[in-house]
Copies of this chain bind each other. A is one copy, B any other.
Amino acid sequence: MGLRERKKLAARAALSWAALRLAMEHGPENVRVEQIAAEAGVSPRTFNNYFSSKEEAICAIGLDRQERVRAALLERPAEEPLWEAVITSVLEQYEGEPDREMVARVRMQMCHPSLQGEHLKARAEIERVLAEGIAERIGTDIRSDMYPSLVAAAVSSATRVAMNHWLNSEPPAELLSTLTEALRSLAAGLPQPPRRKKPSC
């Protein structure tokens, strides 16, 4: 990779990180594009060569997670059932103790109205890549077969629901177990509602 491309990647990352940091510190509404550009060391005009809005920049962090999940998936042993491989690949992205920083970030991205749209767009992108990975693994293609996209969408949704539940859980739950529960429920088949700790009656 030449100097040119490296600098572009660096600039993009710098802008994205700067956007996130400032948004975390002052709230997304109180961040000017001007500041982000300044913190990344480029002109305000250049910002828009990389992102078409500050919201996009803020949510672009973690878009590289898509490639990590995909890579993890393709490295799972071929004899492992698809579903196991997918669940494992997703879960291992969330290993380690979630720090206060991450909680605040996820909460901001998922709850702040001005970021929701972009956040969901980012999720959709991740979902697409995951679907491609699944298709590659089982030897189909996305265009003709809905199955990979369905699996990817289900996993993505379960992850989203679990994170949302985790964020609002009182008392605070564990992230990994919440995620696992959601994915396992899905795997077990949703039609049979699992009886849980808090049954209705």
Counting every copy of the chain, the complex holds 2
Interface size class of A (residues with CB under 8 A): 35 or more
Instruction: Please tell me if the beta carbons of A191 and B157 are within 8 angstroms of each other in the complex.
Output: no
Binds B, one of A27-35, A41-49, A67-75, A178-186: A178-186
**Which residue of B is nearest A151, CB measured?**
B190
Instruction: Please tell me if the beta carbons of A82 and B146 are within 8 angstroms of each other in the complex.
Output: no
Q: How far apart sit A124 and B119, CA to CA, in the bound complex (Å)?
A: 12
Q: Does A187 contact B (CB under 8 A)?
A: yes
Question: Which residues from 152 to 188 on chain A have a C-beta closer than 8 Å to any C-beta of chain B?
Answer: 153-154, 156-158, 160-162, 164-165, 168, 178, 181-182, 185-188
Q: How far apart sit A175 and B33, CA to CA, in the bound complex (Å)?
A: 43
Contacts of A190 in B (CB 8 A): 83, 147, 150-151, 154, 186-187
Q: How far apart sit A198 and B135, CA to CA, in the bound complex (Å)?
A: 12
- Residues of A whose CB lies within 8 Å of any CB of B are 81-83, 116-118, 120-121, 124, 138-141, 143-147, 149-151, 153-154, 156-158, 160-162, 164-165, 168, 178, 181-182, 185-191, 193-194, 196, 198-201
Instruction: Please tell me if the beta carbons of A196 and B147 are within 8 angstroms of each other in the complex.
Output: yes
Contacts of A154 in B (CB 8 A): 154, 157-158, 186, 190
Instruction: Please tell me if the beta carbons of A157 and B153 are within 8 angstroms of each other in the complex.
Output: yes
Interface secondary structure of A, over-half rule: helix
Q: A116-B121, A150-B190 known; 7 other A-B pairs, CB under 8 Å?
A: A117-B120, A120-B120, A141-B200, A149-B165, A153-B160, A186-B190, A187-B190
